[in-house]
Amino acid sequence: MRPALLDPLFAPAATLPGVGPKIAKLLDRLLDRPAGARVIDVLFHLPYATLDRRARPKIRDAQRDAIATLEVRVAEHRPPPNARSKAPFKVLVEDETGDVELVFFLANHDWIRKQLPLGETRWVSGKLEMWDGHLQMVHPDRVMDAAALANMPAVEPVYGLTEGLFPRVLAKAAQGALARLPRLPEWIADKNAQRLRAPTFAAALAAMHNPQQPGDIDPAGPAGTRLAYDELLANQLALLMVRARMRTLAGRSNISDGRLAAKIEAALPFRLTGAQARAFAEIRADLASPKRMLRLLQGDVGSGKTIVALLAMADVVESGRQTALMAPTEILARQHFERMRPLAEAAGLRIIILTGRDKTSERNRTLAALAAGEIDIALGTHALFQESVAFRDLGLAVVDEQHRFGVRQRLALASKGEAVDLLVMTATPIPRTLVLTYFGDMDVSALTEKPPGRTPIDTRAIPLDRLSDVIAGIGRAIASGARAYWVCPLVEESEELDVAAAQERAEALRAIFGTAVDVIHGRMKGADKDAAMERFQRGETKILVATTVIEVGVDVAEATIMVIEHAERFGLAQLHQLRGRVGRGAGRSTCLLLYKAPLGEVSRARLEILRETEDGFRIAEEDLRLRGEGEVLGARQAGAPGFRLARLDLHGQLLTLARDEAQAALERSPRLAGDENRPLRTLLYLFERDEAVRLLEAG
404 and 430 Cβ atoms separated by less than 8 Å: no
Note the pLDDT tens digit of each residue in 388-436.
Answer: 889 999 999 998 875 555 556 666 666 788 888 989 888 777 776 667 6
pLDDT, greater one: 423 or 527: 423
In this predicted structure, what is the pLDDT of residue 640?
A: 39
pLDDT bucket at 356, cuts 50 / 70 / 90? confident
pLDDT at 499: 45
User: Distance between CA 476 and CA 493 in Å, rounded?
Assistant: 28
For the cut 60, the answer to whether the pLDDT of residue 630 exceeds it is: no
Kindly indicate the confidence band of residue 592, based on its pLDDT and cuts at 50, 70 and 90.
very high
Closest C-alpha among 498, 506, 500, 496 to residue 488: 500
pLDDT more than 70, % of the chain? 90
pLDDT confidence tier of residue 531, bands split at 50, 70 and 90: confident
Look over the chain and give the mean of its residue pLDDT values, rounded to a whole number.
87
Q: Does residue 322 contact residue 378 with C-beta atoms inside 8 Å?
A: yes
Residues 296 and 384 in one domain: yes
- Do 46 and 60 fall into the same domain? no
DSSP 440: T
How many residues are present in the chain?
A: 699
Q: How far apart are CA 254 and CA 286, in angstroms?
A: 9
Question: Is the pLDDT confidence value at 120 over 80?
Answer: yes
Looking at residue 632, its pLDDT comes to 41
CA atoms of 33 and 59, how far apart (whole Å)? 46
* Residue 102 pLDDT class (50, 70, 90 cuts): very high
Shared-domain flag, residues 365 and 292: yes
**CATH, residue 606:** 3.40.50.300
Confidence of residue 364 (pLDDT cuts 50, 70, 90): very high
Lowest mean pLDDT: which of 135-139, 500-504, 508-512? 500-504
Look up the CATH number of the domain holding residue 144. Answer: 2.40.50.140
* pLDDT at 518 exceeding the cut of 90: yes
Q: Which residues contact 691 (CB under 8 A, 6 or more apart)?
A: 238, 241, 242, 407, 408, 411
Q: Indicate if 405 and 323 belong to the same structural domain.
A: yes
Burial 466-490 (b: 16+ CB within 10 A, else e): eeeebbebbeebbeeebbbbbbbbb
* pLDDT band of 437, cuts 50, 70, 90: low
φ/ψ region of 514 (left if φ > 0, alpha if ψ in -120 to 50, else beta) reads left
Which of 456, 481, 484 is CA-nearest to residue 470?
484
Residue 189 has pLDDT above 50, yes or no: yes
Q: Looking at 103, 129, 152, which one is the last position of a domain?
A: 152
Q: Which domain holds residue 14?
A: 4-51+159-217
Query: Given a cut of 50, is residue 495 above it in pLDDT?
Result: no
Tell me: do 111 and 17 sit in the same domain.
no
Of the candidates 592, 613, 634, which is a domain's last residue?
Answer: 613
User: Is residue 33, in this structure, part of any structural domain at all?
Assistant: yes
- The verdict on 362 and 466 lying in the same domain is no
Residue 646 confidence (pLDDT) above 80: yes
Lowest mean pLDDT among 34-43, 222-231, 439-448, 473-482: 439-448
pTM of the model: 0.65
Say what the pLDDT of residue 198 is: 87
Q: In DSSP terms, which residues pair with 589 in a beta bridge?
A: 457
Helical packing angle, 654-668 and 222-248, nearest 10°: 50
Q: Is position 379 within any domain?
A: yes
Q: List the single range of 368-377, 497-506, 617-626, 665-674 with lowest mean pLDDT.
A: 497-506
Q: How far is CA 219 from CA 222, 279, 430, 648, in A?
A: 8, 38, 23, 11
Same domain, 491 and 600: yes
Does 695 fall in a domain?
no
Same domain, 275 and 344: yes
pLDDT category at 226 given cuts 50, 70, 90 is very high
Residues 116 and 91 in one domain: yes
Answer yes or no: is 95 within a domain: yes
Tell me whether residue 365 is in a domain. yes
> What's the structural domain count of the chain?
4
49-86 pLDDT tens trace: 999 999 999 999 999 999 999 999 999 999 998 878 88
- Check whether residue 352 and residue 466 sit in a common domain: no
Last residue of a domain, one of 137, 152, 167: 152
pLDDT(577) > 90: no
Would you say residue 568 lies in a domain? yes
Query: Does position 19 have pLDDT exceeding 60, yes or no?
Result: yes
Q: Say what percent of the chain tops pLDDT 90.
A: 58
Q: Which residues contact 545 (CB under 8 A, 6 or more apart)?
A: 486, 487, 488, 502, 505, 506, 509, 517, 518, 519, 520
Mean pLDDT, rounded, for 667-687: 93
Residue 698 lies in a domain: no
Residue 515 exposed, middle or buried by CB count within 10 Å (0-12, 13-18, 19+): exposed
Range 203-218 average pLDDT: 96
Question: What integer pLDDT is reported at residue 695 of this predicted model?
Answer: 67
pLDDT level of residue 373 (50, 70, 90 thresholds): very high
Ramachandran bin of 313, using left for φ above 0, alpha for ψ from -120 to 50, beta for the remaining angles: alpha
Domain-located, residue 528:
yes
Q: By the 8 A CB rule, do 427 and 551 touch?
A: no
Same domain, 404 and 311: yes
Amino acid at 399: V
- Tell me, what's the pLDDT at 603? 85
Give pLDDT, residue 192. Answer: 93
pLDDT at site 641: 47
Question: Binning pLDDT at 50, 70 and 90, where does residue 375 land?
Answer: very high
Mean pLDDT throughout 361-389?
90
Contact, 398 vs 324, CB < 8 A? yes
- Cα–Cα distance for residue pair 523/532, rounded to 1 Å: 13
| Least confidently predicted of 68-82, 194-208, 577-591 | 577-591
Q: How confident is the model at residue 286 (pLDDT cuts 50, 70, 90)?
A: very high
Q: 125 and 174: one domain?
A: no
Among residues 234, 257, 249, 304, the alpha carbon closest in space to that of 276 is found at 304
Mean of pLDDT values over 77-106: 93
